[in-house]
Structure 1
Amino acid sequence: MTSIDVLAADTDTDRDLSDFAHEWREWHRGHEARRAAPHGFLAVTGITWLTEAPVRIDGIPGSWSTGAEGPVVELADDEHLRDGDARLVGRHAFGPIPERSGLTVQSGEVVIEIARRGGQDIVRPRDPGHPYLARFTGTPTYAPTEAWARHGRFLAYDAPREVTVGSAAEGLQHVYEVPGVVAFEIDGQVHRLTAFNGQGPGELHVLFTDETSGVTTYVATRSLDIAAPDADGGVVLDFNRAVNLPCAYTDHATCPLPPAGNRLSVAVEAGEKTPLERERA
């Protein structure tokens, strides 16, 4: 039985759950399954910051560097990589990679992520045989409750602004476009969170900490996706779906940290808690 099978084999049966809790559980099972996929982030074995000086990386072929041609790999005569159906041999330049973008090639069962973060090119192998995947037994969470699905309002700026935030990787910074803030109430007090653009049209994304951070939840950040505002700017912040970023699980992550001001002065006792692997570290 895999770790994700163990996670799904819960002692509570679905018929004992409210519709709200059942929907949340199905969503979280899917989220954890993607997290624990054979080539998901838990399979990352290391991170290499490329420079002009070629380096070899444990577990994958070639000597790796970067420069005007973007990331470059030099493969020895007995080495090769796969790019889809194409077989890469000799010297291969991948071309400049846009910020927060990336591509993958493959060596056997290992997927090699080549990406750009904070203005620097990186290589991260993802090995389905990584022992971390075998140890992963799922992320602890607070019990879902509708009380933490908070109605709020999106307050758009006249024009998007750029905000620079720190990173889980020391010395790295990220720049994001900010369309506005979301405002909501907890116990009669108004709170505001700077919002980034989400993945879909009109969707929003916030990073935050709160009074549980470093106590029951991961100290650096949690992440929450918000559906596109309605015609009046109304939004729902369902903190039951606040999740950990990869940096909560591995030191090989470059996750952004919350913008200044995105620390809530209340304990958000909802969503994912500190991973067990971090608690044992």
Structure 2
Amino acid sequence: MNIIPQIVANSLIAGSIYALIALGFNLVYGATRFVNMVPGALAAIGGYTVFFLFNRLGLNIYFSVIAGVVVAGFFGYLSDRLVFRKLRSHKASNLVSFVASLGIFTMLQALISILFTSQFQSVLSVTENPKTYQILGATFTWVQGLIFITSIAAFVSLALILKKTSFGKAVRAVSDDEEVSKIIGINTNRLISWIFFIGSCLIGLSGIFIGFDIGINPTMGLFIILEGATASIIGGIGNVYGGFLGAFLLGFVENFGILKIPGEWKPAIAFGLLILFLIFKPEGIMNKKK
């Protein structure tokens, strides 16, 4: 039996989830230039919001998903307004900002555990016996197909926004030089807060899809942010296009890597690839060497 088509399908699905994470991560990193841990917790918040509204309250699934995305975005926006904006005004170092983000991440993760317990939760009952499809010898569920399509749509939409709109031009200007952006009249604080919102929405959506596909737990955020950061570094940290490419490369390397070794080594394969890039091409695939 040829398992290659199934491995390709699994790689595309994993890459799609990593891509949503990397898009949000790189968008925020490009504007702030520090590694922010908060989005990891926001992915869990997105997943648990859908779990609460759909599973506990019985609300419409589409409304629950939209609410989950918006709630994750709101918490991201709030984290910038209440914490990171003040740190920027005090010219805090990247290390201080990182430690602050780690503190927020830990608090949010603990809050989720208190509200929903630390047990694994299934978001959709249909995940127990999902409807499957077959294409070119590969089997996938409708949720996995939706993950792939949404990831591509999110990338295309974000790319068009960054390239064709005045908002996108302002985002690119802030990413290049925040101080110069202030001089030419861009309200950088307000813009960065909205970048936090959009990036957090994307990562929140990834958490919702993970919940649909395999389920959720309060500690899922650490895995999410590590995979997103790995994909971003491979593609070129701060580069939205590079992060998208790096996400799919990571997905393929992980899934093909476990052909000959146990699946428990999958995270080790990802971080092994990361170390290789840090040694031989630290700027990533898409960024130019300085």
TM-score, length-scaled by structure 1: 0.22
Higher fraction of helix: 2
Higher fraction of strand: 1
Q: Which has the higher contact order (CA 8 A, sep 6+)?
A: 2
Q: Greater Rg, structure 1 or structure 2?
A: 1
TM-score, length-scaled by structure 2: 0.22
